[in-house]
Chains A and B, each alone.
Chain A
Amino acid sequence: MATTQSVRYFDSRGSRAFDIANAVLLTVLSLVTVLPLLYVLAGSFATESEISSRPFFLWPHKFVTDTYHYIFSTDTFVRALLTTICVTAVGTAVQLFLTLTMAYPLAKRFLPGRALVLNLVIFTLVFSGGMIPTYLVVRDLGLLDSYWALILPLAINPFYLIVVKSFFQELPEALEEAARIDGCNELNVFLRIVLPLSKPIIATFSLFYAVGIWNDYMSPLLYIDDSKKWTLQMIVRQLTAANADSANVLQQLETVTFPEQGLKFAVVVVATLPILFFYPFLQKHFAKGVLIGSVKE
């Protein structure tokens, strides 16, 4: 798409000047986007005095890992990290299972009752019961302070469901038909024909679901009271909150108070790193992301 552009303009002087200004501006924009992250990464390896005295740096004078030693020696942080990893893994599996199994029958135009179910799904995009009624359902199911409360209420993202459904619809019908003639029932067609063909989309949505759970702050805020069951996002919040009352919560958490600013840097880094690690994969599946993003925003 860019090759057409390169022959598009003849090089007038104004045009050249514009190109340079444009490139510079966009470079600045990218730097503004990533510099905060790089600064926090550098700060997490710096000493306390360097953080408070040096204005801005991307490489610490003195490279220390004290903050990481400290946070990984606290029960609170390690527990939160393990909790988040487990909830993300189990949650993603549950979400994928529910999304795939539901999307497949919804992709079958001949299925009686399909339209009704599809309308039920689409209606939830426009209108929902909202925070309190959902909270009450979770409470009445006895899920408060349970890890399942972080998974089940968000188990299916209707946008993802609709995208997966559309994907299934576009699979060649002949393949499934052949399997049926060979005596496969619908369940086997789904398991042996459709799922293996859907690996790319399964990979995509595993990532999107996993990022969603990892980043989720609202669910633990609503449903988890017990600070021993907090996820990483809750810890990050407690450490760097602008709220005046957060200090109290912290003192209940640990007998040792968190003394250093550097800890905040380190915790932010640990909470961000998995996302950045998976970022190349996420970016690879941008095509699907456009789809989702466009319906969502």
Chain B
Amino acid sequence: MATDLVPEVVQPAADAPRQAPPGKKSRRARRPVPLWRDLLRYRWLYLLLLPGLAYFLVFKYLPMYGLTIAFKDYVPFLGYSGSEWVGLKHFQELFTGPDFGRLMFNTLLLALLTIVFVFPAPIIVALMLNELRVNVLKRSVQSLIYIPHFLSWTIVASLTYLLFSVDFGVIANWIHGIVGGQKVDYVAQADWFRPLIVLQLLWKQTGWGTIIYLAALAGVDSQLYEAARVDGAGRWRQFWHITLPAIRPTIVVMAILTSGHLMDSGFEQIWLMTTSLNRDVADVFDTFVYYIGITQGSFSYATAVGLFKGVVGVVLIFGSNFLAKRLGQRGLF
């Protein structure tokens, strides 16, 4: 199925910068052929390029220019350029304000929970699937556990509600039947927010996450196993000395990708699970930006919070990539 994809997997991100070393290309572009000759010669290609380019400029790069309002007191009436510069006022407000510590704590704790519980899950399931010898069963399990990946967070949140609601939630009633005592409102209460988030992530993403590890496992040369068996290696030793080392590079790449997105708590998921009772533990940078920006209309302050998060994100991506290369692994770029 996804067997021969291993080398391709890392390719898009990895090859892109190689094709486009910015310094070199721009120098080559300054060759004697005048610009209009190129434009004329490749007019159809440029024409095809135009709509997409326009999209990136309008919906990706115009917002980046819009980031300047993080350093201004943006008044819609005055526009981007007319609004007054205020320097780092909004960042000061963020760092010294009452929310920062809580947001940072919530964001990082969710990231930590993700790394501890969600990240290893697909690796374990992939290894289990790999040991499965009945092919029909293997394929059926795969078909079933991939499904949730394609469902929206709205559906996942609704399912959580239907299963855990106080009134008629099947799981809530079931737990109540075993544990007894007072009925617990799992969906609304702050104590249960983080476990439910982790549970949702496990349910939705574990199956899909196995694909990449299974692809790596499928690429292992079967001769290695035969040779090991001839040398008297049992099943456990084959697993330990062949299977595990085979997926280590994949695990490292996935770890880099995950740590590059530590600050990106999924907005939709968290927003959908936030209630008036659990906001203290639920608020993360992403949802906070929505509250103060869209709900309260403090565009400049919200933009500053978003910019802070974005910059930390860039640092994390490059940092984890650098670290991986120092550890002798192939990085992403």
Chain A contacts to B: CB under 8 angstroms: 1-2, 4-6, 8-10, 12, 14-15, 18-19, 22-23, 25-27, 29-30, 32-34, 36-37, 39-40, 43, 51-52, 55-56, 97-99, 101-106, 108-109, 111-122, 124-137, 141, 152-153, 155-156, 159, 161-163, 166, 185-187, 190, 211, 214-218, 221-222, 233, 236-237, 239-245, 261, 264-265, 267-268, 271-272, 275-276, 279, 282-283, 286-287, 289-291, 293-295, 297
Contacts and interface: CB of A to CB of B under 8 A. Distances in A.
B131 A289 contact: no
B240 interface: no
Contacts, number: 343
30 contacts: A8-B225, A10-B229, A30-B141, A33-B147, A51-B168, A117-B49, A118-B16, A119-B22, A127-B64, A128-B60, A131-B293, A131-B302, A132-B294, A133-B64, A136-B63, A141-B58, A155-B55, A166-B11, A214-B152, A215-B150, A215-B152, A233-B154, A240-B157, A242-B157, A242-B161, A268-B162, A286-B146, A287-B5, A290-B211, A291-B5
Given A114-B20, A239-B158, A287-B5, 14 more contacts: A6-B133, A26-B125, A33-B145, A34-B144, A55-B170, A102-B52, A112-B42, A130-B289, A136-B63, A161-B52, A214-B152, A240-B157, A289-B211, A290-B5
Interface string B270-291: 0111111100000000100110
A40 B159 contact: yes
Contact of A163 (B12, B276, B310): B12
Chain B interface residue number, banded? 35 or more
Contacts of B96: none
Interface of B is mostly: helix
A3 to B, nearest CB: 8
Contacts of B55: 98, 102, 152, 155-156
Interface of B: 1-3, 5, 8-13, 15-17, 19-22, 25-26, 29, 38, 42, 44-49, 51-53, 55-56, 58-67, 69, 125, 128-135, 137-138, 140-141, 143-148, 150-155, 157-159, 161-163, 167-168, 170, 173-174, 177, 187-188, 203, 207-209, 211-212, 215, 218, 222, 225-226, 229, 234-235, 238, 253-254, 257-258, 267-268, 271-277, 286, 289-290, 293-294, 299, 302-303, 306-307, 309-310, 313-314, 317
Contacts of A116: 20, 22, 25-26
Contact of B22 (A115, A221, A275, A289): A115
A279 B273 CA distance: 26
A282 B19 CA distance: 31
